[in-house]
């Protein structure tokens, strides 16, 4: 079994109209053309245990958590992926449309309406890219390496006393030079794509009126001359700018060529193999904001290290409305753990580069990839040291977002939260290798001395070469099961089956308490046109069920199993102890605690829906939701 399956998708998101552009503190710009196209690109990944995740990177400057959440809702509706499985990274190009900044610039009503309409279209285009990536899943091999970039500099000028003096190159300040590179190859070694990053603002072009992905877009263009898919992930570069000059168009291409060359160099040298399992963590962390006792204290900030008239004015406006000033901000954080080989930490907002060494020390992980601008870009996120220095990166929240400045305690809370998420993900990886404790709810095994093993035979149930033989009219029936523990421990349905050729046509039930009536449906496990299929009814919501994408054979005994997890509502299907390529999600929520429908092996047998099995069945087992190692253990223990 391959460790991973990976798929790619993309949508061109270059506006078709002239919209207000985002970026830079002062100039107001309306786009007048296109230098290079903007994209939403997606990478979908599934490990060998069925866990899925999606990376979505978008060529815009600003995007708030509310907009990202809406995009994730659309993706969930179309793919079943949960919010914790999706990581969104914003390129932060300053040559894109002013998404989520409708009231930041002095637009006309017409221009504001055009930008709002584009934002709605953008959400759908992002979901389209995600769906394309999920549908493109193919066996893949992952490798990781790290290069270096030197086309940018720390931009925080300081005086002799260590106070901020403005934006200028400062070689004495920290800059994250890492260029992380994740290569995706097919099983024959052909490179299908690459995910790469750099910790630097996309502002090479300076103030301009052409849509462009800046140096990140140019690097993609260079890489995709030889590689089908190249996805740029922005690092913690809030305090770094690319080298700039008056020839911005020439320089942006040069930076793109330089970055692409470094990515190619890393891929040409030995890289670290990345294996599964893949585990994802996502949580909101409350980051404290500076508190003020009076209006006068707010006004004093105009003269302090956090001097920012825009934020002060927003806070004063809130006080004028009689509103309470915010005390904290719920920031979205993400961590992806690839076995013991790679950790990706997705930090929100415009995160400064000093957080990279802080996290490396706190986490102590080899191959830690720290990205900024993830899941929300609405504020600058400085360290305590930068807060003391003051200046641009201490502006706090910007544009049409919450107002305020992060309190010094934020640094420790952030570092501790990410370290805990990494530990939790690593623990999940460790647990994945351990079999789930097996708890049996009910089981039926063929006994030569008791043909039906205590169940009632309906029709002509015969002894087969193994188990029982069902002819499409016969089945076994028992009482209603007590599945009270399934609501918390989940449910696994498993059996050995050998369907006849006729049994691969239509829906043929293996075991169920199912009536095709919402209030009575509980669980059903069947062969649906040759493929294992299942559904868990909650007694309230009609269940669509899920059918795997892999057929089973008619000429041999096959072990089929399906699991349902109450916490994630996820379905998984296994054939001969191995997870099939697809997983699904329950339409409803929970399992019907009571069902008057009797247990049946080999049929549904309700009016209008017989769904009777044709072939042989043996060793039916019902128990708690097992992980892949537990399923493999169950399979090996029941082989003959």
CATH number of the domain that residue 497 is part of: 2.60.120.200
Residue 300 lies in a domain: no
Q: Which helix (H) or strand (E) holds 640?
A: none
607, 565: one domain = yes
Q: Does the pLDDT of residue 571 top 70, yes or no?
A: yes
Q: Is residue 309 part of a domain?
A: no
Rg of the chain (C-alpha set): 28
> Given a cut of 70, is residue 257 above it in pLDDT?
yes
Given a cut of 60, whether residue 306 has pLDDT beyond it is no
How confident is the model over 359-376, as a mean pLDDT? 93
Residue 448 lies in a domain: yes
Residues 484 and 453 in one domain: yes
The average confidence (pLDDT) of the chain is: 93
- % of the chain with per-residue pLDDT over 70: 97
Number of domains in the chain: 2
The pLDDT assigned to 582 comes to 65
Asked if residue 388 is part of any domain, the answer here is yes
Cα(460)–Cα(471) distance, rounded to whole angstroms?
Answer: 8
Give the three-class secondary structure for 203.
coil
Q: Does the residue 308 lie in any domain?
A: no
Both 369 and 476 in a single domain? no
- Domain ends where: 432, 449, 477? 432
Q: 386 - beta bridge partners?
A: none
**Residue numbers of the domain that contains 620:** 440-638
Predicted confidence band at 148 (pLDDT cuts at 50, 70, 90)? Answer: very high
pLDDT in tens, 164-215: 999 999 999 999 999 999 999 999 999 999 999 999 999 999 999 999 999 9
Assess whether 398 and 450 both reside in one domain. Answer: no
Assess whether 524 and 393 both reside in one domain. no
Q: How confident is the model at residue 322 (pLDDT cuts 50, 70, 90)?
A: confident
Provide the percentage of residues in the chain whose pLDDT is more than 90. Answer: 77
The predicted structure's pLDDT at residue 304: 62
Does 306 reside within a domain? no
Please state, in angstroms and rounded to a whole number, the distance separating the CA atoms of residues 461 and 454. 13
Domain boundary among 380, 408, 432: 432
Of 388, 414, 432, the position where a domain reaches its end is 432
User: Are residue 538 and residue 407 in the same domain, yes or no?
Assistant: no
One domain for residues 468 and 506: yes
Are 186 and 266 in the same domain? yes
Q: Residue 546 above 50 pLDDT?
A: yes
The residue ranking higher by pLDDT, 319 or 255, is 255
The answer on 75 and 216 residing in a single domain is yes
> pLDDT tens digits for 463-502?
888 899 999 999 999 988 889 999 999 999 999 999 999 9
395 and 478 in a common domain: no
Q: 494 and 421 in one domain?
A: no
**pLDDT confidence of 1, banded at 50, 70, 90?**
very low
Q: Which of 64-73, 121-130, 421-430 has the lowest mean pLDDT?
A: 421-430
Tens-place pLDDT, residues 384-416: 999 999 989 998 888 777 888 999 999 999 999
Is it the case that residue 363 has pLDDT exceeding 90? yes
Q: Is residue 311 part of a domain?
A: no
Residue 628 lies in a domain: yes
Q: What confidence score (pLDDT) does residue 526 get?
A: 97
Q: What DSSP string runs through 464-533? A: -SSSEEEESS-EEE------TTHHHH-EEEEEEEEE-GGGGSSEEEEEEE--S-TTT--EEEEEETTEEE
Q: Are residues 446 and 398 in the same domain?
A: no
């Amino acid at each position: 079994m391959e460790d991973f399956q990976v798929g790619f998708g993309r949508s061109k998101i270059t506006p078709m109209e002239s919209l207000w552009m985002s970026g830079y503190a002062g100039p107001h710009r309306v786009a007048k053309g296109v230098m290079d196209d903007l994209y939403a690109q997606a990478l979908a990944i599934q490990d060998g245990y069925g866990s899925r995740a999606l990376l979505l990177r978008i060529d815009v400057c600003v995007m708030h958590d509310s907009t990202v959440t809406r995009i994730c809702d659309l993706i969930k509706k179309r793919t079943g992926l949960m919010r914790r499985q999706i990581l969104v990274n914003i390129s932060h190009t300053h040559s894109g449309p002013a998404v989520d900044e409708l009231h930041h610039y002095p637009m006309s009503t017409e221009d504001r309406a055009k930008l709002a309409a584009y934002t709605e279209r953008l959400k759908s285009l992002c979901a389209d890219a995600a769906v394309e990536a999920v549908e493109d899943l193919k066996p893949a091999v992952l490798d990781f390496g790290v290069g270096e970039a030197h086309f940018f500099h720390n931009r925080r000028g300081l005086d002799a006393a260590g106070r901020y003096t403005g934006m200028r190159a400062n070689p004495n300040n920290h800059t994250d030079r890492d260029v992380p590179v994740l290569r995706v190859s097919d099983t024959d070694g052909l490179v299908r794509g690459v995910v790469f990053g750099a910790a630097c603002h996309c502002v090479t072009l300076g103030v301009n009126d052409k849509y462009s992905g800046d140096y990140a877009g140019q690097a993609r263009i260079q890489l995709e001359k030889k590689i089908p898919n190249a996805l740029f992930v922005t690092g913690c570069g809030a305090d770094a700018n690319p080298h700039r000059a008056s020839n911005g168009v020439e320089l942006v291409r040069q930076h793109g060529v330089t970055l692409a060359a470094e990515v190619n160099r890393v891929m040409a040298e030995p890289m670290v193999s990345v294996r599964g399992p893949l585990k994802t963590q996502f949580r909101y962390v409350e980051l404290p904001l500076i508190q003020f006792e009076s209006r006068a204290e707010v006004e004093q900030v105009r003269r302090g290290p956090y001097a920012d008239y825009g934020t002060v004015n927003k806070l004063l406006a809130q006080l004028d409305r009689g509103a309470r000033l915010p005390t904290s901000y719920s920031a979205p954080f993400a961590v992806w753990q690839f076995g013991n080989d790679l950790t990706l930490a997705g930090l929100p907002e415009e995160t400064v580069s000093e957080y990279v060494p802080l996290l490396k020390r706190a986490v102590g992980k080899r191959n830690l990839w720290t990205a900024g601008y993830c899941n929300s870009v609405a504020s600058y996120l400085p360290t305590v040291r930068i807060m003391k220095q003051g200046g641009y990166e201490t502006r706090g929240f910007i544009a049409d977002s919450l107002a305020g400045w992060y309190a010094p305690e934020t640094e420790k809370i952030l570092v501790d939260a990410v370290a805990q998420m990494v530990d939790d993900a690593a623990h999940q990886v460790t647990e994945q290798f351990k079999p789930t404790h097996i708890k049996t709810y009910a089981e039926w095994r063929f006994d030569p001395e008791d043909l039906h093993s205590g169940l009632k035979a309906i029709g002509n149930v015969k002894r087969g070469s193994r188990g029982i033989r069902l002819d499409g009219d016969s089945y076994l029936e028992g009482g209603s099961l007590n599945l009270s523990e399934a609501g918390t421990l989940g449910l696994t349905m498993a059996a050995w089956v050998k369907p006849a050729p006729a049994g691969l046509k239509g829906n043929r039930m293996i075991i169920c308490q199912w009536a095709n009536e919402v209030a009575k449906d509980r669980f059903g496990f069947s062969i649906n046109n040759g493929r294992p299929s299942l559904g868990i009814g909650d007694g309230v919501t009609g269940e669509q069920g899920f059918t795997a994408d892999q057929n089973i054979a008619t000429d041999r005994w096959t072990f089929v199993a399906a699991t349902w997890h109450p916490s994630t509502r996820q379905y998984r299907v296994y054939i001969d102890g191995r997870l099939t390529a697809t997983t699904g999600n329950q339409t409803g929520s929970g399992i019907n605690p009571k069902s008057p429908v009797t247990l049946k092996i080999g049929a549904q047998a309700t009016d209008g829906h017989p769904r009777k099995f044709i072939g042989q069945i043996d060793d039916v087992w019902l128990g708690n939701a097992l992980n892949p190692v537990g399923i493999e253990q169950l399979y090996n223990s029941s082989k003959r």
